[in-house]
Structure 1
Amino acid sequence: MSPLNNVKHAGADPAVLVVGAGPTGLALAVDLARRGVPALLLERNAALFPGSRGKGLQPRTLEVLDDLGVVDAVLAAGGPYPPMLGWDGDRPLGAYEMVARPTGPVPGVPYPEGRMLPQWRTQRVLYERLRALGGDVRFGAGLADLAQDAHGVTARLDDGTSVRARWLVAADGGRSTVRALLGVDMTGGAVSDTHVLVADARVDGMSRDHWHVWADAPGGAVACCPLAGTDQFQIVARYGDGARPDTSPAGVRRLVAERTPFAASAVRDVGWVSAFRPRAALADRFRDGRVLLAGDAAHLHTPDGGQGLNTSVQDAYNLGWKLATALADGVAAADAEALVDSYERERRPVAEDVIGLSTRLHRAAEAGRPEGRRRGRETHQLDLGYRDGPLSRDTRRAPGGTLRAGDRAPDAECALADGARVRLFDAFRGPHWTLLAVGGAPLPPLPPPPGGGPLPVRAYAVTPTEPHAHAAYGTGPALYLVRPDGYVGLATDDPAEVAAYARRYAPPYASAPASAPAR
């Protein structure tokens, strides 16, 4: 990286500079804003991304969006996945469900079904939340160069100005400028010889009750999915024999006319169009000094299984509280470094696993195998966790339930000591840590932070009242310290360990970052 000379400074320094206002960057900016962390979100383009690209939100991502305060808007704007309907020309072959639907409530999972919402609308919801929290996006601000030292990063923008920040997060997509400037390679490559076209358009006369599929269409399979909350369809077409897609509006109309019974004139308002070869790749590292890679800048997936956007948003959710803690007063430098380092150690294995899943689904679908047509719990991302991560500590002498440090803490109804009832996800919601004392375990004393302010750890003595909660949390006595991102950091039966763990990772007993209400 070249030194940055003769540049003008662009206003007050943020603590965190986020490059890229896609789902990853917006989710991270929202999380930092509600924690009172000064952040600047840069977007090279003049507006938010306009297309559908990632259109599926998995159950775990809906939980994240609930905590970030936007799930109601997401649920109102989106809808369920429609059933698939296969076609042979103009002859329907029969409908089937790609997404397994629960037949009733799923214990511990408040959002048991994924939701369909085009990416542009997910981004709009997050952007509105960011602005409500006092943040914004600087559009038309591209990154030209960067230099870093032991204390921060200086970024030079296309207009010749510079921004100085303690940390920089690259959320600028698969063709990441930041990753290229760092010289970080990606391991992986194309998983198919075929090209894929994706377009958003209206198709007059096409029913919106089904996701229409012509698997054996001339030239390659094509699918038209009605996008919930819009009057558009997402058109996805595969091209065989080395053919390259024509991404012009006329090319999209011709594609539909050649592969389906619909005339070219039925295709109207062709908007966003993209063509690509499916790839699977993983950045060789997620951290380079004071710079961190997140989302597609760190990992690339095939679209199959709806994993890319969801993994990216959860990168941001993992990173937000860690950066806020590392920036807080009173946190030892070694603890701050360990906390930021834990981001790669936790998220890179997850990304590797998810890339493997989406690649298997892609190859099964391409080969016409049945497993390529169904989506179940493995795509919901509820079972991903950090048991082997550096922040997971489980010291119970005899664990009484299935829950372990590093696992996602499931929702459940519990009784408090006074008989009142509380749902755990209501207790978890917000930027704080949550201490659960189960089955009569004594609550250790946790003094309030000096000078007042929000409690960094909220403590509850609870008795689970639902069978699945008994199975997960056990009957105690046990103490669970749940991280701000909803994963168990510490599971112990020794109250003294709680204060020691909290002093390292919930800094608070010095000067916790200010936080805005979560909802």
Structure 2
Amino acid sequence: MNETRVLIVGAGPTGLTLACDLARRGADFRIIEKERPAGSRGKGLQPRTLEVFDDLGVLDAVLTAGAPYPPLRSYAGGEVVWEGRMHEPKEPTPDVPYPTAPMLPQWRTEQILRDRLAELGGRVERGELIDFEQDDDGVTAVLAGGERIRAAYLVGADGGRSVVRKRLGIGFAGETHETERMLIADVRTDDVDRDHWHFWGDVASRTPHFALCPLPGTEDFQLVAPLIGTDTPELTLPTFQKIVSEVSDVRLREVGWASVYRVNIRMAERFRDRRVFLAGDAAHVHSPAGGQGLNTGVQDAYNLGWKLAAERALDTYEEERLPVAAGVLGLSTRLYRGMSERQAEAYRRGGETDQLGIGYPGASLSVGGGKAGERAPDAPLREGRLFDVFRGPHFTLLAFGEGHAETVARVNERYGAAVRAYTVGDDGADLVDAAGHARRAYGTDGLVLVRPDGYIGVYDAPVDDYLRALA
């Protein structure tokens, strides 16, 4: 029987993020995928996801391949009747270096993560999980073809129809809207420009007929159209051309990946069952409104990776991520309902969707007062920035103010590469905060311990017990 520490089932953005995080930590794992569908699917990456990708070493590739969301252009027949933006461009600030969500087809995001995984020495294996059993010491998984894998832990990142979740018997509470379906396809046409996101429909009632969104780095547009009635048409070029021709003169010349999407709003009752974890769509599925699903799955993986690698604080995964998923699910549902009811504000995206405000205040791994549990903000330093200091699989101790040099030296000596400790301040400090941005962002003259996933674990409180337990 083959053995590994972690078996990841599913190689979408969630599974790949977890695999990359485990690989850079030197943790033993395997990641399997039965068959990965192509296609654009989720195409928006939120600012907090960009920060995760910065830490994992794929941000440059993502920003090079992606592009800003184009302005919207709405038509009545062949006449332009309205223009505007869903995402207003934002300028970087000292604490938020990536404030604007770029667009990138999901298949390209996955390709970038696979390439990074290969650089780290890992790879996705073709394999289908058909059954598993767990005991006090581990999980025995059975794959199609008969291979048996013994793992200390199993992570189900296998989507909304998760075999892992179903095998555990975990409830998936929520609702499926059978009559609210959409046709989605990657198509090609020469009849519209690639500088706009094109919409056709009834402007007065905000009833959409179809939309064409140019996908960066490709010749494709993502076509989205409401599916009327209960029958499912053939997903062929004539089907999509018929829809388009009802309200426009646009001619499609090719259809690639295509799918029928039903609105599902569901969340697992638990994210953990002993040695088995659920992440991403296996744990929560969202409406497409607000671009939250893919991004929330990436955050699940980022939260779980360092805990699995160290085999510590595993109970806190569900404690921290389940309330977050519930909140994000509520947000995406509210936005979807607003769009369904033709509310203009539902089409505009503000800071509530960027996931920068998500955190774990009051959770068991958030110690001290003030900013404990919040996202650790960036700040420019004399040389580099705080995100450069955070980048990697370690904890980071920041000591603001006077009198902490001995603590910094002791932590560096005791914990080695697991914790990197620095004094922060004016000339003579390890990290020179010349413009004072770090001190303004953190607002303390004490100790701040930043977790490996970029959240403040300890704020202005002793760190020794925390580090002994987790580092």
Answering whether residue 148 of structure 2 is matched by residue 162 of structure 1, we say yes
Q: TM-score, normalised by structure 2?
A: 0.93
Greater share of strand: 2
Match of 1:412 among 365, 369, 379: 379
Q: Which residue matches 1:97?
A: 85
CA distance in 2, matches of 1:441, 1:58: 39
CA distance in 2, matches of 1:435, 1:157: 43
Answering whether residue 437 of structure 2 is matched by residue 437 of structure 1, we say no
CA deviation profile, 1:137-186 (whole Å, cap 9, x unmatched): 111x1011000001110000011111110000000000101111111111
Q: Which residue matches 1:54?
A: 42
Q: What pairs with 1:371-450 in structure 2 (closer than 5 Å)?
A: 371-394=345-368, 404-414=371-381, 420-443=382-405, 444=407, 445-446=410-411, 448=413
Q: Which residue matches 1:370?
A: 344
CA deviation profile, 1:384-408 (whole Å, cap 9, x unmatched): 000022100015xxxxxxx511000
Unaligned runs of 5+ in 2: 426-432
CA distance in 1, matches of 2:435, 2:100: 21
Answering whether residue 282 of structure 2 is matched by residue 297 of structure 1, we say yes
Give the residue type in structure 1 aligned to 2:155. Answer: V
CA distance in 1, matches of 2:178, 2:342: 14
The SS at the match of 2:290 is coil
Match of 2:105 among 113, 118, 141: 118
CA distance in 2, matches of 1:315, 1:220: 33
Match of 1:492 among 449, 457, 460: 460
Give the residue type in structure 2 aligned to 1:409. Answer: A
CA distance in 2, matches of 1:149, 1:303: 38
Q: Which residue matches 1:482?
A: 450
The SS at the match of 1:269 is strand
CA deviation profile, 1:256-315 (whole Å, cap 9, x unmatched): 2224321xxx32331111112211111000001100000000000001111100000111
Q: Which residue matches 2:468?
A: 503
Q: Which residue matches 2:428?
A: none
Match of 2:7 among 14, 17, 36: 17
Answering whether residue 249 of structure 2 is matched by residue 275 of structure 1, we say no
The SS at the match of 1:477 is coil
CA distance in 2, matches of 1:62, 1:191: 31
The 1:192/1:81 distance shift into structure 2, 3 A limit, reads: farther
Q: What pairs with 1:333-344 in structure 2 (closer than 5 Å)?
A: 336=312, 339-344=313-318
The 1:24/1:211 distance shift into structure 2, 3 A limit, reads: same
CA deviation profile, 1:469-510 (whole Å, cap 9, x unmatched): 444312x321000000000001124xxx2122101011xxxx
CA distance in 1, matches of 2:213, 2:4: 41
CA distance in 1, matches of 2:130, 2:450: 40
CA contact (8 A) 2:380 2:437 kept: no
Q: What pairs with 1:226-241 in structure 2 (closer than 5 Å)?
A: 226-241=214-229
CA deviation profile, 1:33-73 (whole Å, cap 9, x unmatched): 0000011000001xx43111110001110000010000001
Using the TM superposition, name which of 248-257 and 225-234 deviates more: 248-257
CA contact (8 A) 2:237 2:252 kept: no
Answering whether residue 325 of structure 2 is matched by residue 351 of structure 1, we say yes
CA contact (8 A) 1:220 1:240 kept: no
The SS at the match of 1:390 is coil
Match of 2:131 among 137, 140, 145: 145
Q: Which residue matches 2:53?
A: 65
CA contact (8 A) 1:286 1:344 kept: yes
Match of 1:318 among 303, 307, 315: 303
CA distance in 1, matches of 2:178, 2:87: 24
The SS at the match of 2:463 is helix
Answering whether residue 123 of structure 2 is matched by residue 136 of structure 1, we say yes
CA distance in 1, matches of 2:32, 2:128: 7
CA contact (8 A) 2:399 2:423 kept: yes
CA deviation profile, 1:104-126 (whole Å, cap 9, x unmatched): 33231111111110000000000
Tell me the percent identity.
Answer: 51
CA distance in 1, matches of 2:6, 2:404: 39
Give the residue type in structure 2 aligned to 1:138. Answer: E
The 1:240/1:109 distance shift into structure 2, 3 A limit, reads: same
CA distance in 2, matches of 1:249, 1:192: 24
Give the residue type in structure 1 aligned to 2:12. Answer: G
1:239 deviates by 2.5
CA distance in 2, matches of 1:389, 1:193: 39
Give the residue type in structure 1 aligned to 2:124. Answer: V
Give the residue type in structure 1 aligned to 2:441. Answer: A
Q: Which residue matches 2:430?
A: none
Q: Which residue matches 1:205?
A: 191
CA contact (8 A) 1:279 1:302 kept: yes
The 1:471/1:259 distance shift into structure 2, 3 A limit, reads: same
CA distance in 1, matches of 2:412, 2:400: 20
CA distance in 1, matches of 2:448, 2:88: 32
CA contact (8 A) 1:56 1:116 kept: yes
Answering whether residue 45 of structure 2 is matched by residue 83 of structure 1, we say no
The SS at the match of 1:484 is coil
